[in-house]
Amino acid sequence: MDGEGSVLSSEVAASLLSLEVTESFTIGEKSVARSASQVRRVNRVCVVGIARSNTEVTDLLKNHFGIELLESEDGYEFTEDADITFLCSEFIDCRWFKYLNSCQKPIIGPALIRKRAVDGKPLLVPRPNRPLYTDSMSGVRIALSGLSTKNCREAVDLVHFMGGSAQRIFSASTTHLITDIARGKTYRMAVSIGCRVMHLDWLRAAWAARDSIQISVTTTDFMNRYMVEPFCGLSLWFVAYDEKDLTEMKEKTIEN
């Protein structure tokens, strides 16, 4: 975080520290070891709660992927089975999702199943601590600056749910900086290397579109609406301008 930014809570900081270490495994020989552990196809799925009524997704699981299905109101009775992946339709404010995630069970969402079927890709077991609703942000690496602890936690959760990753410290591998103010060392670094600087609302909009698998949330057209404006969060003073120029400068400032 910048000096101007908020200090992360110990919970969020610890989470991001863990993420930074995890991301370091993508370099060198360790990348092979981690990838090998991830290449495991889903064999059995417990369909939890209201996801049981989604016949499109359950049909894909059975007939397209050839997966054995189990059903449960909350999934609690299957938490001891290491070979089960859980399908949840709700990731936010959902009691059984929170419980299954706290047990470090692999969890997927319906959009991921539909997208993998359309793309002709296998359905793989996600990491136990990384529930995956969709992969719409695969390849996205965010860093955070100037956000409250609450908003930091929200940003980290959302990017994870959509297949992206978060970094504790901004680096050359960061693809997007999430902030709400156009100032600070991290902001200047991002601009200098051409990194996209985005409002948190970008992640929120991407999450709102999570079930629309035909929408690409990382295209320029989608992101342009949520880029941090050059003067966002700043106070500008104009001195010694005539009335006409002052009016024009005010308008340009508001536009940007």
Identify whether residues 187 and 235 lie together within a single domain.
yes
Task: State the residue for tokens 């136990």.
Answer: 128
Strands (DSSP E) found in the chain: 44-48, 68-72, 84-87, 107-108, 141-144, 165-167, 176-178, 196-198
Going by C-alpha positions, the residue among 206, 187, 185 that lies closest to residue 196 is: 187
Rounded CA separation 160/156 (Å): 6
Axis-axis angle for helices 200-208, 149-161 (nearest 10): 40
Q: Is 10 helix (H, G, I), strand (E, B) or coil?
A: helix
Polymer length of the chain: 256
Query: Do 79 and 146 fall into the same domain?
Result: no
Q: Residue 246 is part of which domain span?
A: 135-255
Residues 115 and 164 in one domain: no
Neighbour-count burial of 90, counting CB atoms closer than 10 A to its CB (0-12 exposed, 13-18 middle, 19+ buried): middle
Q: Are residues 168 and 199 in the same domain?
A: yes
Q: Which two tokens stand for residue 9?
A: 């809570």
Query: Is residue 21 scored above 50 in pLDDT?
Result: no
60, 95, 119: which is the final residue of a domain?
A: 119
Asked whether residue 115 falls in the same domain as residue 80, the answer is yes
With contact defined as beta carbons under 8 Å apart, do 228 and 200 qualify? no
pLDDT for 233 equals 55
Q: Facing residues of 71 across strands? A: 47
* 190 and 150 co-located in one domain: yes
CB neighbour list of residue 192: distance below 8 Å, 6 or more residues apart: none
Whole-number pLDDT of residue 45: 98
Residue 25 has pLDDT above 50, yes or no: no
Q: Please report whether residue 128 resides in a domain.
A: no
- Check residues 239 and 29 and name the one with the higher pLDDT: 239
What pLDDT score was predicted for residue 103? Answer: 94
- Report the 10 Å Cβ neighbour count for 164: 22
pLDDT surpassing 90 at residue 10: no
- Per-residue pLDDT of 61-108, as tens digits, reads 999 999 999 999 999 999 999 999 999 999 998 999 999 999 999 999
What's the whole-number mean pLDDT along residues 194-209?
97
Residue 223 in any domain: the answer is yes
pLDDT digit string, tens, across residues 145-175: 989 999 999 999 999 999 999 998 999 999 9
Whether 77 and 152 map to the same domain: the answer is no
Q: Is residue 217 part of a domain?
A: yes
- What is the dihedral angle through the alpha carbons of 179, 181, 186, 190, rounded to the nearest 10 degrees? 80
CA 168 to chain centre: 14
pLDDT at 237 over 80: no
d(CA 240, CA 256): 21
Residues 70, 44 share a domain: yes
Alpha carbon 122 to its chain centroid, in Å, reads 21
Mean pLDDT of the chain: 84
| Amino acid letter, 249 | M
**Residue 24: pLDDT band with limits 50, 70, 90:** very low
For tokens 């908020």, the residue is: 6
Domain count across the chain: 2
Q: Judge residue 52's burial from the number of C-beta atoms within 10 Å of its C-beta, 0-12 exposed, 13-18 middle, 19 or more buried.
A: middle
Residue ranges with strand state E in 13-116 = 44-48, 68-72, 84-87, 107-108
